[in-house]
Amino acid sequence: MTMVVGLTGGIGSGKTTVAEQFARYSIDIIDADIVAREVVEPGTTGLKAIVEKLGSDILLTDGTLDRSKLRQAVFDDNHLKEWLNALLHPMIREKMKAEIDLATSPYCLLVIPLMVENNLQTMVHRLLVIDVNEEVQIARTQQRDQVDASHVRKILAAQATRPERLAAADDVISNNGDSTELEDAVAVLHQQYLAMSLQYQ
């Protein structure tokens, strides 16, 4: 069994940045956002079920899912949102589990932005939370996505709070500083995880 380290944090907290640093140590990364796209690729049972429910208007001309149309449809309809989550969440979980089974590095990193919100801590042996001050989080997200602060605040309000996430954490990286500090924190955690992973081999 491979040891699974879960990585989570709010929008713009630095999950992608941190995951890239673990990848430099050749740690296998499983990213829930990527898996969520894969389960609705053309030819999947996920996409077939969505087309059956919403009609082929939900597809782009190339046969792929029109994500912005789906996002809008779900935004306007809570029942549809529940239906979609009930369809896709088990598929996403199964695919993530299958990828964990294929991991070959001493431990693997499972990146799930909404881990605490969706109670998925049970999938991991250890949970690493990226914590960041709200001002820093908003400024970085604004700069990256070219959106205004109120847009970021709305997303923040729909996510778990910092205390909720921290209460679930085994390890915390504070990402208010520069990228060198972040690299140093990852280097320390990598050594700890390597030592812990021996118990799982």
Site for ligand ATP contains 121 (CB under 6 A): no
Q: How far is the CB of 115 from ligand ATP (least distance, A)?
A: 12
DSSP letter, residue 63: S
| Residues facing residue 108 across a β-bridge | 4, 28
- For residue 99, give the H/E element and its range: helix 78-102
Please report whether residue 140 would count as binding ligand ATP according to CB under 6 A: yes
Does residue 16 bind ligand ATP (CB under 6 A)? yes
Is 81 annotated as belonging to a binding site? no
Is 17 annotated to bind a ligand? Reply is yes
Binds ligand ATP (CB under 6 A): choice among 62, 158, 178, 201? 178
Shortest reach from residue 75's CB to ligand ATP, in Å: 18
Q: Give the residue, chosen from 169, 182, 185, 186, that forms a contact with ligand ATP under the rule CB under 6 A.
A: 182
Q: How far apart are CA 81 and CA 33, in angstroms?
A: 17
Rank residues 9 and 106 by Cβ distance to ligand ATP and give the closer one: 9
The answer to whether 100 touches 200, Cβ cutoff 8 Å, is no
Q: State in angstroms the smallest separation of the CB of 7 from ligand ATP.
A: 9
Distance in angstroms (rounded) separating the CA atoms of residues 94 and 158: 25
The yes or no reply on residue 165 touching ligand ATP (CB under 6 A) is no
Task: State the minimum distance, in angstroms, from the CB of residue 195 to ligand ATP.
Answer: 25
Asked if 61 and 42 count as a contact pair (C-beta separation under 8 A), the reply is: no
**E-strand spans in 49-169?**
107-111, 126-131
Contact by Cβ (8 Å): 136, 176: yes
Handedness of CA 176, 181, 184, 188 (dihedral sign): negative
Q: Which of 2, 21, 175, 197 binds ligand ATP (CB under 6 A)?
A: 175
**Min. distance of Cβ 190 from ligand ATP in angstroms?**
17
- DSSP per residue, 20-62: HHHHTTT-EEEEHHHHHHHTTSTTSHHHHHHHHHH-GGGB-TT
Per CB under 6 A, does 144 bind ligand ATP? yes
17 scored as a contact of ligand ATP (CB under 6 A): yes
- Name the residues that contact ligand ATP, by CB under 6 A: 9, 11-17, 113, 140, 144, 175, 178-179, 182
The annotation places the binding site for ATP at 12-17
Annotation: binding site: 12-17
